[in-house]
A and B are shown apart, each in its own frame.
Chain A
Amino acid sequence: MEFFFDLVTNGLLVGLTYALVALGFVLIYKATSVINFAQGDLVMFAGYAAAVMLGMRGMPVWLMALVLAVGMVVLGFVIERGILRPLVGQPVIAVIMVTIGLSFVLQGLVAILWGASTRDLPLPVRMEPYILGPVFLSPINLVAAVIAIVFLIAFGLFFTRSRLGVAMRAVADDQQAAMVIGIKVPRVFALSWAIAGLAAAAGGVIWGNMLGVDTFLALVGLKVFPVVILGGLDSIAGAIIGGLILGAVESLAAGYLDPYVGGGTKDFIPYVLMILVLFVRPYGFFGHETIERV
């Protein structure tokens, strides 16, 4: 039983760090209905930038975080302006492909700028876990959890309370209708990429600290697919819930299923779960159900 609790708490905490990456993903999908295959690479880019800045002597962590946040927002703007704006109104799948191209560009660019070798990203967070009875809590995961929840609340308020947030939802719902009522759609797109850049910055720092920084950091992008599908591609709360479910399921599968099947099931069980969920709810748990008309 103790082992069970361990697995679940660990899984939930890891799940929140997945959710952190998933957030950026969902934000872009929500406003522009594009699956951003480069989200993992944005996370990687942010991680690199953070590690490089911390590597400079005398750079305090808060300054790094500030510069990184601003920098990633700018990068989001630049990406939108440079390569996505020209594709507004084009088939979605072409835009998706462009994000794949972007991921190659970022991979190459990072290695050219900063080299391929691994760097560490030390944060003033202690390594030893907090021990609460039978449960070990890893501090960095707690930090990630806090950031994820802060983001969730902030974005939740932003989308329901601010004019801009409502405008973003309107664009997500129907671009043409939004344009008709005078919303500047390109501006909303730019904003969503900028926010995704911000989310990537948070993901990059947390995952960079956990894994060390090199171009493999982009792999976390892959782990995010089942999270966003489970939760619903366009739901921010869904990203968090999806992350939590996924983390717990992964963890339990590895703990209880692996010994019987003789192989790592951690990676494919979430997908099986995802397909089952999709059969019942084709738009994920919290996804927006589109009503189709001819």
Chain B
Amino acid sequence: MINREAGVFHTSYESDMALYALPLAKITAWGMVALLVLLPLPLSLLQNEHLMSIVNTIALAAIGAIGLNILVGYTGQISIGQGAFMMVGGYTAAILSTRYGMPFWVGILAGGAMSALVGVLFGIPSLRIKGLYLAIATLAAQLIMEWTINHVTWISGGAQSSIYVQNPTVFGWELDNEFRRYYLILVFFLLAYFAAQNLVRSRVGRAFIAIRDRDIAAEIIGVNIFKYKLLAFAVSSFYAGVAGALWTYYLRIANYENFTLVVSIEYLAMIIIGGLGSVLGAVLGAIFIKLFPIALDLTVIGISEGIFGVRYGAVADFLANFQLFVFGALIIVFLIAEPEGLARMWENVKRYFRLWPFSY
């Protein structure tokens, strides 16, 4: 919860450089991990695959969102092409595991690597184009990738542009239900989360932040902009590729329609609402964007049927559009309340309770 505290003095470099410098922070971090690992237990006792599938969706989205936040939030290069990079990862994984019989983890890593390569390619314009112009150039990446995958039969595997894959197996253990798939996703989610937390406070991360804050100034103090901008694209696309490959194994199909422009914009929405330049923010944003529509759906229908006693069929259109309306309004309200996102809100809450009830 609290990572730095006045009055705590470090006596060794290791303790100073630790990701969580305070014992309390370390305990909360481990506690969260334990919580996540044990999460399926109560759900599997209730046999609730439904809730588990929602958690899986959120965790998958969080991986992609963390990656995008490295590019947009930390390096300041706006991208509306996250879906395209996920697409690359997804198809790479599917092709490797169906045509070449590779195990799933090769597919996931290769998906990430391939996507990083493509990301670097589409990152090249960033050396010359900035800001919103770059944003639209990444939109081009989205459309060009969609077109390519759709029209190169070798990649798409035929007119339907979709490739079915088998369930991954780990040590002969087939991941054939939501609970088992959760652990696959969880491993990558934790890796993604902690890797990102470490990255952003390293030399590389500081270079990213310098470029974001003022790229010319960064260049003057000796940051190789060329290298680090492309590196940011590579890292971010690697995350996207891994997320895309995981999506593919999760759904057991690679289909470009899972990664359309709408999805790219959704990811951008996640990190903006969650908080730019915050790893935790990306996760919170993923929760917001993925959970709210579902939660709204469940509550709005429940309330209107249970309390107002209306029949679903009579008002279905109204309810559906009302949800869309409320979702949009929520985005607006949250951003007006805290333009720096949910992560900042969370900070504020923490700050309030830190000295509670004896605040100044």
| In the bound complex, CA of A116 to CA of B317 (Å) | 8
- Of A93, A103, A262, most B-chain CB atoms within 10 Å: A93
Q: CB-nearest residue of chain B relative to A278?
A: B129
Q: Chain B residues with Cβ under 8 A from A111's Cβ?
A: 317, 321, 324
A27 at the interface (CB under 8 A from B): no
Binding stretch for chain B, among A66-74, A144-152, A243-251, A267-275: A267-275
Q: Are A268 and B335 in touch, CB under 8 angstroms?
A: no
What is the 8 Å Cβ interface bit string for chain A, positions 161-205, against chain B (1 contact, 0 not)? 000000000000000000000000000000000000000000000
Q: Are B220 and A108 in touch, CB under 8 angstroms?
A: no
Q: CB-nearest residue of chain A relative to B76?
A: A93
Q: Are A97 and B328 in touch, CB under 8 angstroms?
A: no
Q: Are B78 and A101 in touch, CB under 8 angstroms?
A: no
Contacting A272 at CB < 8 Å: which of B135, B144, B216?
B144
Q: Are B335 and A104 in touch, CB under 8 angstroms?
A: no
B263 at the interface (CB under 8 A from A): no
Q: Chain A residues with Cβ under 8 A from B291's Cβ?
A: none
A-B pairs with CB below 8 Å: how many? 136
Binding stretch for chain A, among B47-55, B184-192, B268-276, B303-311: B268-276
Contacting A102 at CB < 8 Å: which of B72, B139, B332?
B332
With A98-B335, A103-B328, A108-B323 known as contacts, the answer to whether A225 contacts B136 (CB < 8 A) is yes
| In the bound complex, CA of A19 to CA of B146 (Å) | 26
Q: Chain A residues with Cβ under 8 A from B136's Cβ?
A: 225-226, 229, 274
Q: Are B324 and A107 in touch, CB under 8 angstroms?
A: yes
B125 at the interface (CB under 8 A from A): yes
Binding stretch for chain B, among A1-9, A51-59, A83-91, A128-136: A83-91
Q: CB-nearest residue of chain B relative to A262?
A: B151
Contacting A275 at CB < 8 Å: which of B140, B147, B322, B330?
B140
A156 at the interface (CB under 8 A from B): no
Q: Are A100 and B265 in touch, CB under 8 angstroms?
A: yes
Q: CB-nearest residue of chain B relative to A222?
A: B261
Q: Are B336 and A87 in touch, CB under 8 angstroms?
A: yes
| In the bound complex, CA of A100 to CA of B341 (Å) | 15
What is the 8 Å Cβ interface bit string for chain A, positions 91-121, against chain B (1 contact, 0 not)? 1011011101111111111011001100000
A282 at the interface (CB under 8 A from B): yes
Q: Chain B residues with Cβ under 8 A from A263's Cβ?
A: 147, 150-151
Q: Chain B residues with Cβ under 8 A from A103's Cβ?
A: 328
Contacting B335 at CB < 8 Å: which of A97, A106, A262?
A97
The minimal Cβ–Cβ distance linking A171 to chain B, given in whole angstroms, is 17
With A268-B144, A279-B125 known as contacts, the answer to whether A274 contacts B137 (CB < 8 A) is yes
A294 at the interface (CB under 8 A from B): yes
Q: CB-nearest residue of chain A relative to B144?
A: A268
Q: How large is the interface on A (under 10, 10 to 19, 20 to 34, 35 or more residues)?
A: 35 or more
B130 at the interface (CB under 8 A from A): yes
Q: CB-nearest residue of chain B relative to A279?
A: B128
B339 at the interface (CB under 8 A from A): yes
With A35-B132, A292-B216 known as contacts, the answer to whether A278 contacts B324 (CB < 8 A) is no
- Of B136, B144, B325, B331, most A-chain CB atoms within 10 Å: B136
What is the 8 Å Cβ interface bit string for chain A, positions 224-251, against chain B (1 contact, 0 not)? 0110010001000000000000000000
A261 at the interface (CB under 8 A from B): yes
With A100-B265, A261-B151 known as contacts, the answer to whether A83 contacts B340 (CB < 8 A) is no
Q: Are A109 and B335 in touch, CB under 8 angstroms?
A: no
Q: Are A108 and B336 in touch, CB under 8 angstroms?
A: no
What is the 8 Å Cβ interface bit string for chain B, positions 138-160, against chain A (1 contact, 0 not)? 01100110110011000000000
Q: CB-nearest residue of chain B relative to A85?
A: B336
Interface residues of B in 28-57 (CB under 8 A from A): none
The minimal Cβ–Cβ distance linking B142 to chain A, given in whole angstroms, is 9
The minimal Cβ–Cβ distance linking A193 to chain B, given in whole angstroms, is 15
Interface residues of B in 210-233 (CB under 8 A from A): 214, 216-217, 220
A284 at the interface (CB under 8 A from B): yes
Q: Are B273 and A97 in touch, CB under 8 angstroms?
A: yes
Q: Chain B residues with Cβ under 8 A from A233's Cβ?
A: 132-133
The minimal Cβ–Cβ distance linking B48 to chain A, given in whole angstroms, is 29
Q: How large is the interface on B (under 10, 10 to 19, 20 to 34, 35 or more residues)?
A: 35 or more
With A97-B331, A262-B151, A263-B151 known as contacts, the answer to whether A272 contacts B140 (CB < 8 A) is yes
Q: CB-nearest residue of chain A relative to B142?
A: A271
| In the bound complex, CA of A104 to CA of B135 (Å) | 21
Q: Chain A residues with Cβ under 8 A from B265's Cβ?
A: 37, 100
B327 at the interface (CB under 8 A from A): yes
B19 at the interface (CB under 8 A from A): no
Q: Are B273 and A271 in touch, CB under 8 angstroms?
A: no
With A112-B321, A275-B125, A284-B133 known as contacts, the answer to whether A102 contacts B328 (CB < 8 A) is yes
Q: Are A109 and B325 in touch, CB under 8 angstroms?
A: yes
With A98-B335, A103-B328 known as contacts, the answer to whether A282 contacts B132 (CB < 8 A) is no
The minimal Cβ–Cβ distance linking B122 to chain A, given in whole angstroms, is 9
A216 at the interface (CB under 8 A from B): no
Q: Chain A residues with Cβ under 8 A from B360's Cβ?
A: none
Q: Chain B residues with Cβ under 8 A from A90's Cβ?
A: 339
Contacting A278 at CB < 8 Å: which of B128, B276, B326, B335?
B128
Q: CB-nearest residue of chain A relative to B334?
A: A101
Q: Are B332 and A83 in touch, CB under 8 angstroms?
A: yes
The minimal Cβ–Cβ distance linking A224 to chain B, given in whole angstroms, is 10
Q: Chain B residues with Cβ under 8 A from A283's Cβ?
A: 133
Please, could you name 8 A-B residue pairs with CB atoms under 8 Å apart, sorted by A? A29-B132, A101-B332, A104-B327, A109-B321, A226-B136, A268-B144, A282-B129, A283-B133
Q: Which residues of A contact B (CB under 8 A)?
A: 29, 35, 37, 83, 86-87, 90-91, 93-94, 96-98, 100-109, 111-112, 115-116, 222, 225-226, 229, 233, 261-263, 265, 267-268, 271-272, 274-275, 278-279, 282-284, 287, 292-294
Additional pairs, 10, CB under 8 Å, beyond known A104-B327, A112-B325, A226-B136: A86-B336, A91-B276, A94-B335, A94-B341, A96-B272, A104-B325, A104-B331, A261-B151, A271-B144, A294-B220
